[in-house]
Amino acid sequence: MKKIGIKSLSQYIAETNDKIVYCKAYGRCTRIYFENNKQIIISENIKAIENLVKGDKYFRSHKSNLVNLRYIIGVNYNKRTIYLENGYVAEVSVRRVTELKFLRANGERVAGFDFKRKKIRRTNCTSVTF
């Protein structure tokens, strides 16, 4: 857990990298979603954020998504979506589905996240299995 500095369009924020739930790219801008439902937009591409959190447990699920593995609560392989805490939903590209399945099949422990023992907290997701 390290503090990273993020310069948004109007302010400079210093946050620990484990508070980032996920990032969504919109061209040259990136929207960062934090665990306290705070969101900021920065004028950097998602690769810059990926370099900031390098070595931590983040998964590039799509060319426009970067997901913190600790906040995953469910995966739907048919719809290629990842369900995250706070109601966020991220896309998974076709090529990254196998990588995500491999992580789950090995039951890798990712910074406190146990894929085999994680319980789904969302009751309305009937097609999501863990």
**Mean of the per-residue pLDDT values for the chain?**
78
According to the model, what pLDDT value does residue 125 have? 37
According to the model, what pLDDT value does residue 12 have? 80
According to the model, what pLDDT value does residue 1 have? 67
pTM: 0.75
Q: Which CATH architecture has domain 3-114?
A: Beta Barrel (2.40)
User: Are the C-beta atoms of 65 and 24 separated by less than 8 Å?
Assistant: yes
Domain boundaries, the chain: 3-114
Q: d(Cα 58, Cα 41) in Å, to the nearest integer?
A: 19
Q: Which of the residues in the chain have pLDDT under 70? A: 1, 55, 104-130
According to the model, what pLDDT value does residue 113 have? 45
User: Are the C-beta atoms of 67 and 120 separated by less than 8 Å?
Assistant: no
